[in-house]
Amino acid sequence: MNHEFASALNDFVRYLSNAVGAAQLYSVEHPQVGAFIPRAVDALRHFVGGEEEKTLVFLKGVVFYQGKPLERDPHLDRLARICDQIGVGYIRLNARVSAADMRQLVRLLVGVESRESMLASAVNIRIGEVDTPEDGDLDRTTREIAAFEQLSHDELKQLGELYRAVSREEAFNLKDLASVIAGFIAAFRREANPLLALVPLRQMDEYTFTHSVNVGILNITQGISLGIEGQLLHDIGIAGMLHDVGKIYTAAHILKKTDVLTTAEWQAMRQHPSLGAQYLLNQPDIPRVAVIAAFEHHMRHDHHGYPRMPDSWEINLCSEMTMISDTFDALRTRRVYKDAWDFPKAAGYLLSLTGGQLHPDLTMNFLKILAQMGERAGVLSGRGETT
Ligand SMILES: [Fe+2]
Ligand SMILES: [Fe+2]
């Protein structure tokens, strides 16, 4: 969304929210409300611009526009809260909206008018539940985002408990690691199903494939050191292996480019987390944490990465682990444009990223494992990259 539309949308939300606030305080007929309504209409017309109509989706207190959550602010929060309460999943508006229509919307939001009567009479403002399959793409996107949110919370809790349960003083057992990784790779060969998702990637870009395997192994290394075992450990490994699978949709010349990427190429590259998550959602037998890690692995611990999510978004610990494995493997890799970094240099750099890009406790834990392992384990000398 360009800047002009974004500020028109902001204005519209602010004036509508102010009108609703005034209507709640006094009444819908109060002059205060009347003062905000024409401003909301103007801002809305500006926002809709030359387009037929625009839709805002409300889901669990977050407002989405074109499938992406809008940055939260008190006005947006107020509208989202009300829409959740009265069961409005989306509001679709067109440029012909009049002051009378806007007042009707305010009446709906303050509970003076029912959803049914609004549905029956409003022409330029349409409302609905989010599951109404009127706009397939939009609804699917919002449902998928809701699914990530839900899963992320559950998995986060589970991992968080495991994490707390493990004493960080415990020595890391190298022998266990070797045998678990051997078992992991053997299991991959047997089941092959999640790995099938990687086949198209291997055909496109051998380098990204090797990187994916490395990140899977590093994820398992982290998981073991945190006391995670069994199915969850296996899933965390798969999540590492599949984190970049969305790159099957990225043009090969971009993946292989050794020069600085252009803005358009970066734009294309930045799509791979959401494309990867959507791709994995449609594959059989993919662990849920793998879908989440594909979606979140560039979000950064401080939420300053991509895809951009509200600050309230809880990044799954498996995704945080994947970010660390991903970054480390990239640093340790020799590419045409960059030499492989040695261990102290890579470790020092990881340390400098704690708190901002990377989860501080998980990174410290990772560095501790690496220090214990030294450079002995062959798994740490692979090749790979973080994009
Ligand atoms: Fe990566
Ligand atoms: Fe990536």
**pLDDT tens-place string over residues 217-262:** 889 888 888 888 788 888 898 899 889 988 888 888 888 887 888 9
Task: Pick the last residue of a domain from 101, 133, 165.
Answer: 133
Residues 209, 267: Cα–Cα separation, whole Å = 22
Ligand 1 centroid vs 328 CA: distance in angstroms? 10
Ligand 2 centroid vs 348 CA: distance in angstroms? 22
Express each pLDDT in 275-296 by its tens digit.
989 888 877 778 889 999 999 9
Residue 127 has pLDDT above 60, yes or no: yes
In a domain, 165, yes or no: yes
Same-domain pairing of 218 and 337: yes
Weakest-pLDDT range from 29-43, 78-92, 234-248, 324-338: 324-338
Task: Pick the last residue of a domain from 89, 117, 133.
Answer: 133
Short-list 305, 282, 281, CA closest to 292: 281
Confidence of residue 192 (pLDDT cuts 50, 70, 90): very low
> Quick check: 148 and 295 in contact, CB under 8 A?
yes
Residues 143, 199: Cα–Cα separation, whole Å = 28
Same-domain pairing of 166 and 251: yes
Same-domain pairing of 258 and 293: yes
Q: Indicate the SS3 state at residue 358.
A: strand
Ligand 1 centroid vs 204 CA: distance in angstroms? 15
Residues 209, 309: Cα–Cα separation, whole Å = 28
Residue 271 has pLDDT above 90, yes or no: yes
Task: Pick the last residue of a domain from 133, 152, 187.
Answer: 133
Q: How many domains does the chain have?
A: 2
In a domain, 57, yes or no: yes
> Quick check: 90 and 56 in contact, CB under 8 A?
yes
Ligand 1 centroid vs 85 CA: distance in angstroms? 40
Confidence of residue 205 (pLDDT cuts 50, 70, 90): low
Ligand 2 centroid vs 267 CA: distance in angstroms? 13
Express each pLDDT in 314-355 by its tens digit.
999 999 999 999 998 888 775 555 566 777 777 778 888 888
Cα separations in angstroms, 236 against 197, 301, 342 = 16, 18, 26
> What 8-state DSSP symbol labels residue 197?
T
Ligand 2 centroid vs 142 CA: distance in angstroms? 22
Q: Which two tokens stand for residue 349?
A: 């750099």
Across the range 284-313, mean pLDDT stands at: 90
Weakest-pLDDT range from 1-5, 11-15, 181-185: 181-185
Ligand 1 centroid vs 216 CA: distance in angstroms? 10
Residues near ion ligand 1 (CB < 5 Å) are 244, 326, 386
Same-domain pairing of 274 and 320: yes
Residues 123, 110: Cα–Cα separation, whole Å = 20
In a domain, 128, yes or no: yes
Q: Counting beta carbons within 10 angstroms of the beta carbon of residue 32, is it exposed (0 to 12), middle (13 to 18) or buried (19 or more)?
A: middle
Ligand 1 centroid vs 65 CA: distance in angstroms? 28
Phi, psi of 197 (to 5 degrees): -65, -20
Short-list 370, 384, 377, CA closest to 225: 370
Pairing relationship of beta strands 53-59 and 125-128 according to DSSP bridges: unpaired
Which amino acid belongs to residue 324?
Answer: I
Ligand 2 centroid vs 382 CA: distance in angstroms? 17
Q: What is the pTM of this model?
A: 0.51
User: Which residue segment(s) compose the domain that 162 sits in?
Assistant: 138-381
Ligand 2 centroid vs 298 CA: distance in angstroms? 6
Cα separations in angstroms, 266 against 203, 245, 272, 299, 303 = 22, 17, 10, 15, 18
Q: Counting beta carbons within 10 angstroms of the beta carbon of residue 121, is it exposed (0 to 12), middle (13 to 18) or buried (19 or more)?
A: exposed
Measured from the alpha carbon of residue 246, the closest ligand is 2
Ligand 1 centroid vs 178 CA: distance in angstroms? 23
Ligand 1 centroid vs 387 CA: distance in angstroms? 5
In a domain, 326, yes or no: yes
In this structure, how many other beta carbons lie within 10 angstroms of the beta carbon of residue 153?
12
Q: How many percent of the chain have pLDDT more than 70?
A: 72
Ligand 1 centroid vs 326 CA: distance in angstroms? 5
Same-domain pairing of 127 and 142: no
Measured from the alpha carbon of residue 331, the closest ligand is 1
Per-residue model confidence (pLDDT) at position 291: 92
Same-domain pairing of 108 and 46: yes
Confidence of residue 155 (pLDDT cuts 50, 70, 90): very low
Across the range 193-212, mean pLDDT stands at: 62
In a domain, 387, yes or no: no
H or E segment to which residue 319 belongs: helix 317-331
Same-domain pairing of 256 and 369: yes
Cα separations in angstroms, 162 against 104, 175, 217, 231, 232 = 51, 21, 19, 13, 10
Residue 152 has pLDDT above 70, yes or no: no
Same-domain pairing of 165 and 314: yes
Same-domain pairing of 25 and 116: yes
Same-domain pairing of 239 and 375: yes
Confidence of residue 162 (pLDDT cuts 50, 70, 90): very low
Same-domain pairing of 123 and 194: no
Residues 232, 70: Cα–Cα separation, whole Å = 33
In a domain, 375, yes or no: yes
Better pLDDT: 16 or 122: 16
Confidence of residue 143 (pLDDT cuts 50, 70, 90): very low
Q: Which two tokens stand for residue 122?
A: 């409003």
Same-domain pairing of 172 and 320: yes
Instruction: Count CA atoms within 13 Å of residue 247 on its CB side.
Output: 27
In a domain, 68, yes or no: yes
Mean pLDDT for the chain? 75
Residues 86, 55: Cα–Cα separation, whole Å = 18
Residue 135 has pLDDT above 50, yes or no: no
Q: Packing angle between helix 317-331 and helix 360-373, nearest 10 degrees?
A: 50
In a domain, 386, yes or no: no
Per-residue model confidence (pLDDT) at position 48: 87
* CATH code assigned at 193: 1.10.3210.10
Ligand 2 centroid vs 192 CA: distance in angstroms? 22
